[in-house]
Chains A and B, each alone.
Chain A
């Protein structure tokens, strides 16, 4: 039986391990050979797809269905048999508001506070981040030295874990921390950043932009580099200046990529939890409480675990995300056609 030789690296250690793994996995053929004789080549295709499909079904698809079950039942038990059917009561509770613009008038005021916080956060964070990502991409697209270095610098915070990002900035923003040291040196007063609601909210936006901007910068940079240079040449010959070139050449041709970036970052921003939770824990009070933390809190962190309410909120969140994801798919398809 002939075999394709495994591509060997120049490294004898890698070769050695490669050999071991190949032999070991080849040995598994003892099991899979007879299996193939049993179910045939087409059957093997199903076999290959099976583990993935199993995990998706058990841990993703089935839970989506379960989520609805939770949303329409009440009680405080996580086990399904003990949950009485309550119909739309969970949803009714969530939407029970005298005045939808004021969370305090709502039955579930914390839910609405989370909704408003998340909406505000998403709009501001995506706005600022895409803006800075665009500027950075434009800067990196120019003829500069050490382009690779600068590109990597902006990308580095993307690799840091959310908890690390939160702690790094929490340390800087301490009452006796670096930022206050600068303020005092410039003649100002110390500001307790994490204790004042508006400042805390500003900072969760800041650290989120700081931590994620580099990723979208790279995508926008790729989009910029795809714009043919001869367009700018032609424009230059015709006497267009930089601003006009940007408005009439760059912006329209970059727009598909921009839209994809905006929707992608929107989807991600709505799900923000880790860095804000580690940074402020949702506080002070509920000033920085976002939607995913609300779901987690309601279902897991309170004395009375209200799984029905949490699931209902999840369903609502999922619906919003579904709309955005479909929008992204639509935009992706359109940009492919361009």
Chain B
């Protein structure tokens, strides 16, 4: 069976030597890493640049800002340049004033001698500097704290409600025999075929009648019942033995107690998967909150971010910073749970 053994060894061909298909594979995967990650990294790097630095072309990778020095006799710090003098020497001078194409510069060591330099001879001296203000300003002056708060409220409340009512429905559908059970199950699954994009107008009317337009409840409630959630939990609950319930009933436990104190804890893994999906979906949701919320005080993060890029088209330094903040929670969750998420997706995706 040496053919099988060679086939199953780590590389094609001789052990320890790379086959061309391995090279191709790794090249493709590494290219994939670059294409998947670098846009995000570029966004993070750009978010720390000042507004002026963002307009530079070609852009630098690291956020750089010009070094400024305190000089005796001047109130404000002065920008530092490298200047190529006529005699070939390169000196570091700070600029006092600029008049047209001529800059008045001084050596910080001897602040009294003004040296006149053509601006073309100067090159700014720069160092890495993070423009934290890009992050602070939108939170302070542009309501982003409010957007964060709304997103958190929607995500947490909606996930809790989703977990409770979907597990209740799954519990009933998996553990009880009652008339209409199959019909109800089919109805619930059939709503999978009705995506929100198809019922925009009438759901809007329904919410209008409830008074839930421009209310966070209008965002939370309609999507709280998810057919995938019911399906997922029901599949899992089917594997919980019925004897547990039977013996609990003999002991006098009510159905509610059985649900809450027996079945639900045992269904914890499936609940965890649903919770993660729900959090992800709610945090990233755009179309529905966009339609329902009309006042900016109630905007969720996604809606606020989109509105922000629409109205202040040129304030990229703020947009980028807030974009980074928006993707940060998901990224952190991903970093910790990535193995769990990817295996969970694969198993439910096939369903």
- Looking at the assembled complex, report how far the CB atom of B314 sits from the nearest CB atom of chain A, in whole angstroms: 11
Residues of B within 8 A of A142 (CB): 22, 25
Complex contact A169–B206 (CB within 8 A): no
Which stretch of B39-47, B77-85, B86-94, B130-138 is in the interface?
B39-47
Chain B CB within 8 A of A41 CB: yes
Bound Cα distance from A310 to B251, whole angstroms: 57
Complex contact B254–A67 (CB within 8 A): no
- Looking at the assembled complex, report how far the CB atom of B154 sits from the nearest CB atom of chain A, in whole angstroms: 13
Complex contact A29–B254 (CB within 8 A): yes
Complex contact B201–A310 (CB within 8 A): yes
Which stretch of A98-106, A121-129, A271-279 is in the interface?
A271-279
Chain B CB within 8 A of A11 CB: no
Complex contact B225–A314 (CB within 8 A): no
Chain A CB within 8 A of B32 CB: yes
Known: A210-B35, A218-B346, A222-B347. A236 touches B4 (CB 8 A): yes
Contact with A along B311-351 (1 / 0, CB 8 A): 00000100110010011001101100011011001110111
Chain B CB within 8 A of A144 CB: yes
Complex contact A139–B28 (CB within 8 A): yes
Complex contact A139–B191 (CB within 8 A): no
Residues of B125-156 whose CB lies within 8 A of A: none
Bound Cα distance from A55 to B207, whole angstroms: 12
Contact with A along B196-225 (1 / 0, CB 8 A): 011111111110100000000000011011
Q: Which of A154, A161, A242 is B302 in contact with, Cβ under 8 Å?
A: A161
Q: Which of A63, A148, A151, A321 is B202 in contact with, Cβ under 8 Å?
A: A63
Chain B CB within 8 A of A289 CB: no
Residues of B within 8 A of A321 (CB): 193, 195, 198
Residues of A within 8 A of B341 (CB): 155, 159
Residues of A within 8 A of B43 (CB): 167-168, 171
Q: Is the interface of A mostly helix, strand, loop or mixed?
A: helix
Chain B CB within 8 A of A17 CB: no
Bound Cα distance from A184 to B57, whole angstroms: 10
Question: How many A residues touch the partner, as a band?
Answer: 35 or more
Chain B CB within 8 A of A114 CB: no
Complex contact B205–A66 (CB within 8 A): yes
Residues of A126-185 whose CB lies within 8 A of B: 135-136, 139-140, 142-144, 148, 150-157, 159-164, 167-172, 174, 176-178, 180-181, 184-185
Complex contact B205–A26 (CB within 8 A): no
Known: A139-B29, A164-B326. A55 touches B222 (CB 8 A): yes
Q: Which of B201, B230, B342 is A155 in contact with, Cβ under 8 Å?
A: B342
Complex contact B169–A218 (CB within 8 A): no
- Looking at the assembled complex, report how far the CB atom of B334 sits from the nearest CB atom of chain A, in whole angstroms: 5
Complex contact A325–B286 (CB within 8 A): no
Complex contact A167–B198 (CB within 8 A): no
Contact with A along B163-192 (1 / 0, CB 8 A): 001101101110010100100100110011
Residues of A1-55 whose CB lies within 8 A of B: 1-4, 6-7, 22, 25-26, 28-29, 32-33, 36, 41-42, 44-46, 48-49, 51-53, 55
Chain B CB within 8 A of A221 CB: yes
- Looking at the assembled complex, report how far the CB atom of B4 sits from the nearest CB atom of chain A, in whole angstroms: 5
Known: A181-B58, A299-B200. A53 touches B35 (CB 8 A): no
Chain A CB within 8 A of B306 CB: yes
Residues of B within 8 A of A273 (CB): 197, 286-287
Bound Cα distance from A155 to B337, whole angstroms: 12
Chain B CB within 8 A of A295 CB: yes
Q: Is the interface of B mostly helix, strand, loop or mixed?
A: helix
Closest to A311 in B: B201
Residues of B260-319 whose CB lies within 8 A of A: 260-262, 265-266, 268, 280, 283-284, 286-287, 291, 302, 305-306, 309-310, 316, 319
- Looking at the assembled complex, report how far the CB atom of B53 sits from the nearest CB atom of chain A, in whole angstroms: 12
Bound Cα distance from A215 to B345, whole angstroms: 8
Bound Cα distance from A292 to B201, whole angstroms: 12
Complex contact A318–B59 (CB within 8 A): no
Bound Cα distance from A10 to B192, whole angstroms: 38
Q: Which of A32, A135, A151 is B254 in contact with, Cβ under 8 Å?
A: A32
Bound Cα distance from A58 to B184, whole angstroms: 15
Complex contact B205–A80 (CB within 8 A): yes
Q: Which of B32, B225, B268, B351 is A150 in contact with, Cβ under 8 Å?
A: B32
Bound Cα distance from A51 to B178, whole angstroms: 17
Bound Cα distance from A178 to B59, whole angstroms: 7
- Looking at the assembled complex, report how far the CB atom of B102 sits from the nearest CB atom of chain A, in whole angstroms: 28
Complex contact B302–A51 (CB within 8 A): no
Given A26-B261, A215-B349, A326-B193, 11 more pairs with CB closer than 8 A: A32-B254, A45-B181, A51-B168, A60-B225, A63-B202, A78-B208, A157-B36, A161-B326, A218-B346, A236-B4, A318-B199
Question: Can you report 9 residue pairs joining A to B where beta carbons are below 8 Å apart?
Answer: A36-B254, A52-B169, A66-B202, A144-B25, A148-B338, A151-B342, A172-B39, A233-B7, A314-B198
User: Interface on B for A, CB 8 Å cutoff?
Assistant: 3-4, 7-8, 10-11, 21-22, 25-26, 28-29, 32-33, 35-37, 39-40, 42-43, 46, 55-59, 165-166, 168-169, 171-173, 176, 178, 181, 184, 187-188, 191-195, 197-206, 208, 221-222, 224-225, 230, 244, 248-249, 251-257, 259-262, 265-266, 268, 280, 283-284, 286-287, 291, 302, 305-306, 309-310, 316, 319-320, 323, 326-327, 330-331, 333-334, 338-339, 341-342, 345-347, 349-351
Going nearest first, the 3 A-B pairs with the smallest beta carbon separation are A66-B202, A161-B284, A63-B202
